[in-house]
Structure 1
């Protein structure tokens, strides 16, 4: 049986994706489940995270968001039985690639897949859905009546965040990185109910004449937004061209309101004393979004499963609708993963087995 792995080099740029033979354990552990994989989504591999966690291995499995059919269960498995359709995320320390024909996984990393939900949608949305729930519910304590700014709203993560926030009665503002993104966000509508736009205002930061801070303050009557979710932050005035459309950290601090929450994906964020002072004066909070924390700790396993169950339920009813590329066959997995790792794919990419 073959799977896709990342062969680590001295730097992240030296990483190569290769297909290798792998073996599935014949005997299952007490709480393990053997799943026949039907689809697997591809997400960028965080090589630095694996180094930080000191996973000593040359080959890192690729493809962790899986959906499939249960083939066999361990003696103490209570949640599933053979022929159940399941969706889940392989743990960080797994030795198996999700692009194998079958994988072995603990039952506490899986939830039932609703019958109406397609394989591709389930695999393609589970990770971004988990990030959206973690950011909005767990970190930002989202509530009806709040105002949310989603930076790069047309990204797969941004779209699910917008849909989830609108469902809970939150007023959503979103930034667009191109004219195509702006048009897409302006036409974003719920699948059921009133056909109003999901986004109250789209801020086209691709246009040099548009100011992000002024637009947010104008939309909130000068009070600032309650929640900001970024997709990266410029730490310095001079940054590579690829990061030129990211907001400067001072802009975010300026547009956030009193008691607001800033949820950042910027791992290397640095705040100077004046930045901290501004956040202090507003009684604002800063949280770092790392969705891997659910799988890295078993302290809140029940909440993790509850989140995944809610995601697949909202997917099956159309409340959440992910942005997906057309499914890709397994023989194109290596090339596809290289594109994903280099951020050359705008929508979420799913391999159909």
Structure 2
């Protein structure tokens, strides 16, 4: 991974393009996986359609910055607006740059009570959490009060946001973390904390009332035990799915068909046998969701959880830190003061 100091400033090429002067951007585990070849099939397809070379890949998804220029069809934003957003998965542009191009529909005005560094920590994890808890698990502001929600890995980026979203809607949050993360999840509002280094979450929760919702951010190793803890009528959502790996291995069409067939079988079994909702969750760039999150941030219901801040020249160090795991919030790259 290198920093190109001679990259030209892009310009809006489509009517709904917005040129952003990036002030800060956060990094995600997804970036590490892309560097290792994850999403290869989708990447090659999108680059072919855009008539772009395969390399270099510009990494980074979420950002906060200032609108520099807008396309002729843009109506919501103007130069000088402070915004935040998440880029799509086509890899045409990345957020780890002084300038990037974002679609109008993926942008939102930045919360007025956040710095650019704080704001950049939110978009990707907010959209991922919203996709899992709201879109997939069916959680709503009106129906969450009193619900028992298990959030795996509460100190990660998705975990820190999810805890706060559930608490903002008056749910009861149970989360897992290591000993060193207990204080962080307490500050974020977790009601019950399970230190996975000291006890097994399934053993602990088997003695308590069944769960209404489970958010799996870890993977298949906790799926069976998590499902067993759900009540009839409960919802399970996982952000770790085999879809992209399947497309990388078998091609986009065949891989997608193969993966979704697995999902439909498991979802049907859980629905018919146990009366549970089983979902795979996905995040999409969406400015309207960020508008809702913006209001919650400005109301003080959700706060940033920034662990580390690096300069753009030290981005390799930031990724080395992320690769070690055991995150305690988000790692942010300060692009410009």
Q: Settle same-fold status: TM greater than 0.5.
A: yes
Does residue 243 of structure 2 align to residue 253 of structure 1? Answer: no
Distance 1:345 1:183 in 2: 13
Q: Which residue is 2:197 aligned to?
A: 206
Call closer, same or farther: CA 1:281–1:122 in 2, change over 3 Å: same
Q: Which residue is 2:272 aligned to?
A: 280
Q: Which residue is 1:8 aligned to?
A: none
Q: Which residue is 2:102 aligned to?
A: 105
Superposed displacement of residue 66, structure 1 = 1.3
Matched-pair contact (CA < 8 Å) for 1:250–1:275: no
Superposed displacement of residue 276, structure 1 = 7.1
Give secondary structure in 2 for the equivalent of 1:350.
Answer: strand
Call closer, same or farther: CA 1:218–1:33 in 2, change over 3 Å: same
Count of matched residue pairs:
299
Superposed displacement of residue 277, structure 1 = 4.9
Superposed displacement of residue 229, structure 1 = 0.8
The gaps in structure 1 that reach 5 residues or longer are: 1-16, 190-197, 236-246, 296-303
The gaps in structure 2 that reach 5 residues or longer are: 48-53, 243-258
RMSD: 2.5
Q: Which residue is 2:317 aligned to?
A: 335
CA displacement, residues 158-207 of structure 1 (integer Å, 9 cap, x when unaligned): 1211111011121111112x21223433x325xxxxxxxx2222122211
Q: Which residue is 2:249 aligned to?
A: none
Q: Which residue is 1:226 aligned to?
A: 212
Q: Which residue is 1:181 aligned to?
A: 181
1:72 to 43, 47, 69: 69
Matched-pair contact (CA < 8 Å) for 2:3–2:313: no
Give secondary structure in 2 for the equivalent of 1:219.
Answer: coil
Q: TM-score scaled to structure 2, two decimals?
A: 0.80
Does residue 115 of structure 2 align to residue 115 of structure 1? Answer: no
Q: TM-score scaled to structure 1, two decimals?
A: 0.77
Q: Which residue is 1:60 aligned to?
A: 57
Superposed displacement of residue 342, structure 1 = 5.2
Distance 2:12 2:165 in 1: 40
Distance 1:282 1:320 in 2: 34
Matched-pair contact (CA < 8 Å) for 1:19–1:334: no
Distance 2:130 2:313 in 1: 33
